[in-house]
Each structure stands twice: as C-alpha cells, then as structure tokens.
Amino acid sequence: MDSPPKVLDFSQISVAEIPQSGKDRVNKLLDSGNLFRYSEGKGSDSAVAQLESEFADFFGKKYAIGVNSGGSALFIALKAVGVSSGDIVMLNAFTLAPVPSAIENCSCETILLDTTDDLVIDIESLKHAVKTTGAKILLLSYMRGHIPNMDDIMKVVKDNNLTLIEDCAHVMGAKWKNHDMGTLGDVSCFSLQTFKQVNGGEGGIILCDDDDIAARAILMSGSYMLYEQHLSRPPSEVFDKWVATTPNFSLRLNEISAALVSSQLPTLREKIVKWNNVYEQIASGIREIDGLSLPNISPDLQPAPTSIQFFCPRDGEEISAAIATAKSFGLNIKWFGNPQPQGFTSNYHHWNYLSSQKMKNTDVLMEGLLDIRLPSTLSEQQCKDIIAILRYSF
C-alpha cells in the first residue's frame, strides 16, 4: 500500500469565484433595501430583469425567466408547456431527486428510461417508452454533465412530435457540436445554485423561444401583473390570453442572486476551460488506478464539468470502507449505490413516490458509481493530492 497521502482541507478551497463587480452590486442592493424584483415605479433597473435579458442574449434565445431554483424552473416549464394531472412524462433514470419531484409536483406520471454504460439516456429505452405509452413529453436530464448523442435524441423527438424539456442544471456552457446545451429543446431549465457553473447561491432560469410558454412562465413565477418590468418578455397581447387562467406560484428569483450571476456570466467560457483542465488532471490520475474506470465522453461534446464520476467494481462493504478512508484525508466521495440517499446523491429506488419500475442497466451502474465535486479553483497540486487520496483509498 502507498504511504498515507496529505490531508486535503476543502474548506480552504474556494467554491466559486465571485467578481468584485458582483460584490459591489450586492452591496448597493443591500444599501438600497430593494431586494425584490418588482415594485411600483421599478422597471429595467431590476437586477433580475437585467440578468434575464443577458441570459437570453448569451444563449441566443428570445426569452429567459428567473425563478427561485432549478427545481422550480422544471416545475414551471412542465406547467407552461401544458402538462396536466395524469399526463405521462418520460425521464432518464439517472438524475437527481428534484427532477422527478418536479413531475410529481405536477401530479403527472413519471416513466423512467434506462441508462447506458456512459451514464446517458438509453435511446432504445426512449423509443420503447414512446411506442408503448404514447407519452409526448420528454424531460431530458443531463445528469452530472453527461450528454447523450443529441442527433439521435432530436430525431426521436421530431419523428414522434415530442415536447423536449432540457434539464441543464449541470451543463451551463457545455456544447454539442457547437450548439449550446439548452438551445435544442422546446424549453430548457438551468440552476444557479452554488455548486453549478455560476454561483447565485440559489435560483433557476427558464429559456425558450415560444411566446405562450414564456408568458405563462412569467405569470406562474409570480409577476403580480407587473410583467412589463421584464426586459425579456412577449408582447402584452400574449399575456392577455393567459392572465385570467394562469396561477401565481410565487417562485421568483431575488435581486441578490441575479446580481451575483450577472457578474459571472461574462467569464463563463473561460471558467469552463479551467474546469475542463481540472477534470482532465483528475481523470488522468483515476485512469492509472487499478480497478477504477471512467465513462466515455463523446468527441462531439464540449463539456462543462463541475464534478467527476467513476466506477469501482467492488462490493458495498469495500466501497464504504474506501469512502471512509478518503474522508479521513478530507476528500468527500459520493456513492450512487448507497442504500440510503445522502447529500446530493440518490437513485430512483429512493423515490418511493414514483410507481415501481425496474431499470436493469441503471441498477448495475449505480452499484459502483462514485462522484467527486471539482471546484474550478483547484490548483495542480490539489489535483495531485486528490489523486493520491484516491490511490491510497482504493
């Protein structure tokens, strides 16, 4: 066995870099006390309204709507495209709990789809579900940044007239064949939570080009008839169609989160370069450890990784022991096969509010799937320290 590695102090590693311009904007907001996006006489100076406009421009879409979380974005997107109680929504089984929960919040039925060895949706599972259930909604989750062959996905979507909602919580800034993720479907949803590509603390963004979907999303988010304060919005006559029949779910984004994200958006591309560099350093080290392996990444994908996943083909007791050893040296490793959900990691067997379903390949993969968060601020030495801990633990 190798000699014990250096203890890593993650508390000394910056989670995300907040530009000074963001801090200055937040201080200005705090001094003013205007932390709510709407008010009488308030308009285009709203930090949320400005972020929505910037976000839409960044991705080349017509509309962006800010909400209070990525999960809320998914819920509103589902409602805005017209799902109603009892409708079937297809969802890949490898995802995070807020995604099926958004479907459950709509009182819809979730049909899970199996996972390939590369941690992406199984296209044959999707085709089978479309054929056997008649479902017309696909909520596609790019869980932990793993993106399927989007040419294949879009062919199934178009051939079967499906509505595609993209869960982009883990892929902001990633590209498929130079297409930004979040620009391929009918609607896309992003997370602004601290561990994502941009750090708003909390928050979410809905992107779309459709006037009716955008108007409904704005009304559902809780605009109190002040939707004209949105810089990114459809014409007023579109709102007139929906205002009397659309509920206010009161899920707005706050000014402070918006100001923080606005300051980070201009540097997102260069930050992703840093993340890919960190990922490749850790991935190279994992490839040299006997028994550990990584999922493949398509050459058509330009990733935006905030974490890394790898497989360990050992039994549960051995995996638990290795995780405990790594933790004693300061490295937290998440395990998707854990019998109990922990932190930001779970699998579909933990979601007992869903109907009982069996995903054969997903089950095999989750048994040995491990996960490490990777701040973009990791230094080369810190990457080496993480690899040393992994080598010692496994």
pLDDT tens readout for residues 301-313 = 999 999 999 999 9
pLDDT tens by residue, 240-256: 999 999 999 999 999 99
Return the residue matching tokens 């062919």.
155
Of 170, 208, 221, 217, give the one whose Cα is nearest residue 191: 170
- Stretch 61-81: mean pLDDT: 98
378 is written with which tokens? 């990791």
Q: Given pLDDT bands bounded at 50, 70 and 90, which one contains residue 44? A: low
**CATH code for the part of the protein at 20-264:** 3.40.640.10
Alpha helices (runs of H) in 329-379, residue ranges in sequence order: 360-367
Of 259, 386, 371, give the one whose Cα is nearest residue 306: 371
How far is it, in rounded angstroms, from Cα 26 to Cα 53?
19
Q: What stretch(es) of the chain map to CATH 3.40.640.10? A: 20-264
Contact present, 69 and 77 (Cβ < 8 Å): no
- When the pLDDT of each residue in the chain is averaged and rounded to a whole number, the result is 95
Q: Given pLDDT bands bounded at 50, 70 and 90, which one contains residue 340? A: confident
Residue 42 has pLDDT above 60, yes or no: no
How far is it, in rounded angstroms, from Cα 138 to Cα 279?
29
pLDDT tens by residue, 266-281: 999 999 999 999 999 9
Contact present, 337 and 347 (Cβ < 8 Å): yes
SS3 25: helix
Contact present, 234 and 52 (Cβ < 8 Å): no
Of 19, 61, 22, give the one whose Cα is nearest residue 255: 22
Q: What stretch(es) of the chain map to CATH 3.90.1150.10? A: 10-16+268-393
- Stretch 58-73: mean pLDDT: 98
SS3 335: strand
Contact present, 216 and 224 (Cβ < 8 Å): no
pLDDT tens by residue, 279-336: 999 999 999 999 999 999 999 999 999 999 999 999 999 999 999 999 999 999 999 9
**CATH code for the part of the protein at 10-16+268-393:** 3.90.1150.10
Helix axes 123-133, 150-159, angle to 10 degrees: 10
